[in-house]
Amino acid sequence: MRAASLVFGVWMVAAVAPAAAQTPPTAEKPVPVFEEPRHHLVLDTPSLRILDIQIPPGDTTLFHMHNSAMIYVPISSSRTRNQNLGEDWPAPTAAPPAPTAPAAPARPGRINGGANYVEKPQTHRVNNIGTTLFRLIGIANMTPGDATAPAAASPVKPEMENRWYRVERLVIAPGASAPVPTFAGTIVVVMQTNGTAALDGKVWHPLNGPGDFARIDGTLPYVVHNRGTAEIEVVAVAVKGAK
C-alpha cells in the first residue's frame, strides 16, 4: 500500500510541475515604472522625475506601467525586444550582419519621446537580447505640460518639441564653450558622449561622461565648457510646466 501511495505522489508532482512552468507571464503583477528595479529613480520632485534606466545583456525588466509624459536620452544601445502585457513576445528577427570593416564612431542616439503615455498608457516589459548594456536617461514630466511656453529666442533648431518638452543639442569642440538656451522653467542638461565638461552659471556642475546630468533654472544664463580633447555632445531638455 505504501508503494502505491509513493507512486501516486510522484505522479502528482510530475503532473503539477509542468503546469507551474507554464504560468502565463501576465500572472506577474505590474509595477509603476518608477518602482521597476532597472529604472533607477535618481531625481524625484512633484513635477519632475528622472530615471537612469540600465538593462544588462540577457536581462528582462518586470512588467511596468507608463502613464506620464516621458522622453528618453540614449546613452548606450543594444538589441532589445518589447512585450506588452497580455501579448506574446514578438517573433525573433535576424541579428545584424557582422561589420566587414571598422565602423566610423557612432554619434549619440537622437531623442525620442513617449509623451503619448498620457493619452495612451502602456504596460510592458523589455528584454535585452544584445551583448551590451542598454541604457537611457528617462525624463518624466509629471505636469499637464504647456503648449504656450516656447523657449527664449535661440539660433538652435530644436531636436524635438511638444507640449511637454523642448530639446536642443549642443555639439562642442575641444576647448570651446556653448551657451545653454534659456527657458522659463526647468532645464535638464544631459551629456551623451565621453569627455570632460562643466556647466557654469549660478551653480557649477561637472559633466564627466555619458549619463551625467544636471537640473538648472532655465531663466538663468549657463554655459557648457568642453574641458577635454575630443568633441562632446550634450542635450538641453526644457521640461515645460516643471519646477
Domain ranges of the chain: 162-239
Pure H helices in the chain:
2-21
Please give the pLDDT value at position 150: 60
pLDDT at site 219: 93
For position 23, what pLDDT does the model report?
A: 40
What pLDDT score does 203 carry? 92
- Homologous superfamily assigned to 162-239: Jelly Rolls (2.60.120.10)
What's residue 93's pLDDT? 75
Residue 63 Cα distances to 29, 128, 189, 199, angstroms: 7, 14, 29, 37
Contact assessment for residue 196 and residue 230, using Cβ atoms and an 8 Å cutoff = no
Residues of the chain with pLDDT under 70: 1-27, 96-105, 113-114, 149-155
Q: According to the model, what pLDDT value does residue 68 have?
A: 94
pLDDT tens-digit readout, 201-232: 999 999 999 999 999 999 999 999 999 999 99
120: Cα separation from own chain's centroid: 18
Say what the pTM is.
Answer: 0.84
